[in-house]
Structure 1
Amino acid sequence: MKNVLLLVHDDDGQEARLQAALDLTRALDGHLSCVDVSLYPAFAGDYYYGGGGAAGMLLADERQRESKNKTQVSARLANEGLAWDWTDVTGNFFEAVVDAARLADVVVVNRELERYPYPDMHGVASRILTHVRVPVLAVSSEQRGLKLNRALVAFDGQASSAATMRACVPILRLAEAVEILMVRDGAEQVEPSEAAAYLSRHGIHAEVKIVDDGLQPADRYIMEEIDNFRADYIVMGAYSHGRLMETFGGVTKRMLRNAHIPLLLGH
């Protein structure tokens, strides 16, 4: 895992995304690829009122802001001591990131913006998750920096959960402590003990915790275990059909809304 893809845009979540991506790239001794998106006015919701002329003016303003943003962020990257490249795109976040992710190992976005509804980062993160085949690191807009010492693996025994854990092995290797959490429902395809054995062959020695309680939503147990384990981040499959993630993505959506630590998600 060497290629980190970062969504760049002058919005309330950019600083959190940037700091997380820098910390992750440095920890992996990797390469940071930045895709800077100038949004089409049609994707600006209430900010777009008029026809072609108004749209052209709004797009020109957007490109001017992103040009200034590029100058500032590029100057910062030049002093970070890591390898990076830059691509400018005009369009929308979803298509730009999915296109750029073809040769990425991990994608960095916001799970949502805390103070502003626009851009809709929750929707963007959800759509990206269902279309890329690499882990997505989703961070709060309030996040500052990325700690990788204590990893909580929310494991439901389904294919997406196992695949996400395997893909995140290079990151999990950096952890001082790893815990595998399973909320059992009887539909598991892979046991947590098997997952722990797999990680042990990569030099990762994980503790296993199993919860047998089908009455409460699984994300309640995950949120509780974040505090109990003092987790720095979570690794979990997204939009799978096991109990831990819930049919139709209920747990995934709520974790994207509510998690106060970074999520490493895979689908």
Structure 2
Amino acid sequence: MKTILLHVHDDIGQAARLEFALDLARATSGHISCVQITPLEYFVGTDPFGGMYAVKEVLANLREQETAERARIEARLASEGVSWDWLQFDGNVAQTLISQARLADVVILSQPARGDDPVAEPIPVVPDVALHSRAPVFSIPAQVKPLDVAGPAMVAWNGSYEAAHALRFAVPLLKLASDVHLVEITQETRDFPSTAAASYLARHGLEPEIRTVAPGDKGVGATLARTADEIGASYLVMGAYGHSRLREMILGGVTRDLLGDARIPLFMSH
């Protein structure tokens, strides 16, 4: 993971995102590209004649907050001994991250929150970026332990294109794990069963353990989360499922459930 794209925004998930990016950069000798985006769409209105205007006082206050946030994070990065740079943009957050991720190895975002404070919560861009970025996404819970790349890793496998994309992208990280667990929640015959994924990983020098788990009463997402807890997984690799219609993201049930409740980082690719 040599190029790590970190979304910078002053919210309750920023501290966890930064710590995770630093852990990942140190473990992989990677470079952190900090991307700070002013979400102008939230501060632009329209008048009765079709014109557009910015709420100047609010926008000025936001610029001041962003300047302070940049100074704070740059001071931290300067003391961490990692390679980094800073990119500043105005515009749509999801679209800008998708554009900037074209040469990134991974994008660090925050897991969507379910609180009552939209100002403090992370901007909910994970679904959009995960489904449209050419790079995989790490979705990080607001409260997350330090990343242990040498700990166990779990891969959710169902033979889909999405799961295969995520698995291939994750290989450099999986090589650092103490154990790799391929977890398949199915009793059905698949064109690409977990044994095919295990053979692929074996060619990369990995010896994954295959687990076939029956889905529980609470659904596949809950079963995956429970299995990750049992394994003690440092992170979960999975496909991001869904489609878009006029930019409204409709995620598959498993992806949506895990994004809402996961207690460990999710490494996702569509």
When normalised by structure 1's length, the TM-score is 0.89
What is the match of residue 139 of structure 2? 138
Displacement of 1:12 after TM fit? Answer: 1.1
What is the match of residue 264 of structure 1? 267
Query: What stretches of structure 1 of length at least 5 have no aligned partner?
Result: 242-246
Mapped contact 1:36–1:89 kept (Cα < 8 A): yes
Tell me how far apart the structure 2 counterparts of residues 136 and 66 of structure 1 sit (CA, whole Å).
24
Tell me which stretches of 4 or more aligned residues in structure 1 moved more than 6 Å: 48-54
Superposition map of 1:133-172 within 5 A = 133-148=134-149, 149-172=151-174
Tell me how far apart the structure 2 counterparts of residues 197 and 226 of structure 1 sit (CA, whole Å).
22
Please say if 1:173 is aligned against 2:166. no
Tell me how far apart the structure 1 counterparts of residues 103 and 124 of structure 2 sit (CA, whole Å).
23
Residues 34-88 of structure 1: per-residue CA shift (max 9 Å, x gap): 1012222x426xxx88977761111111111101111110111111111111001
Superposition map of 1:64-79 within 5 A = 64-79=64-79
Q: 1:253 to 1:95 in 2, by over 3 A?
A: same
Q: 1:162 to 1:53 in 2, by over 3 A?
A: closer
Q: Specify the SS of the correspondent of 1:197.
A: helix
Residues 218-250 of structure 1: per-residue CA shift (max 9 Å, x gap): 112201201211111100001069xxxxx9511
Mapped contact 2:111–2:126 kept (Cα < 8 A): yes
Displacement of 1:147 after TM fit? Answer: 2.0
Tell me how far apart the structure 1 counterparts of residues 37 and 120 of structure 2 sit (CA, whole Å).
12
Farther off after superposition, 146-155 or 187-196: 187-196
Tell me how far apart the structure 1 counterparts of residues 169 and 206 of structure 2 sit (CA, whole Å).
14
Please say if 1:43 is aligned against 2:46. no
Tell me how far apart the structure 1 counterparts of residues 241 and 70 of structure 2 sit (CA, whole Å).
34
What is the match of residue 246 of structure 2? none
Displacement of 1:200 after TM fit? Answer: 1.5
Please say if 1:3 is aligned against 2:27. no
Tell me how far apart the structure 2 counterparts of residues 180 and 13 of structure 1 sit (CA, whole Å).
29
Superposition map of 1:186-265 within 5 A = 186=188, 188-213=190-215, 217-239=219-241, 248-265=251-268
Q: 1:78 to 1:248 in 2, by over 3 A?
A: closer
Q: 1:120 to 1:68 in 2, by over 3 A?
A: closer
What is the match of residue 17 of structure 1? 17
Displacement of 1:213 after TM fit? Answer: 4.9
Tell me how far apart the structure 1 counterparts of residues 98 and 215 of structure 2 sit (CA, whole Å).
37
Tell me how far apart the structure 1 counterparts of residues 67 and 103 of structure 2 sit (CA, whole Å).
25
Give the helix-richer structure, 1 or 2.
Answer: 1
Tell me how far apart the structure 2 counterparts of residues 240 and 150 of structure 1 sit (CA, whole Å).
28
Mapped contact 1:178–1:207 kept (Cα < 8 A): yes
Partner amino acid for 1:261? I
Q: 1:114 to 1:145 in 2, by over 3 A?
A: farther
Displacement of 1:185 after TM fit? Answer: 5.0
When normalised by structure 2's length, the TM-score is 0.88
Mapped contact 2:182–2:208 kept (Cα < 8 A): yes
Tell me how far apart the structure 1 counterparts of residues 252 and 109 of structure 2 sit (CA, whole Å).
19
Partner amino acid for 2:254? V
Partner amino acid for 2:83? A
Mapped contact 1:39–1:59 kept (Cα < 8 A): no
Q: What is the RMSD of the two structures over their aligned residues, measured on CA atoms? A: 2.4
Mapped contact 2:237–2:268 kept (Cα < 8 A): yes
Q: 1:102 to 1:53 in 2, by over 3 A?
A: closer
Q: 1:69 to 1:29 in 2, by over 3 A?
A: same
Identical-pair percentage: 37
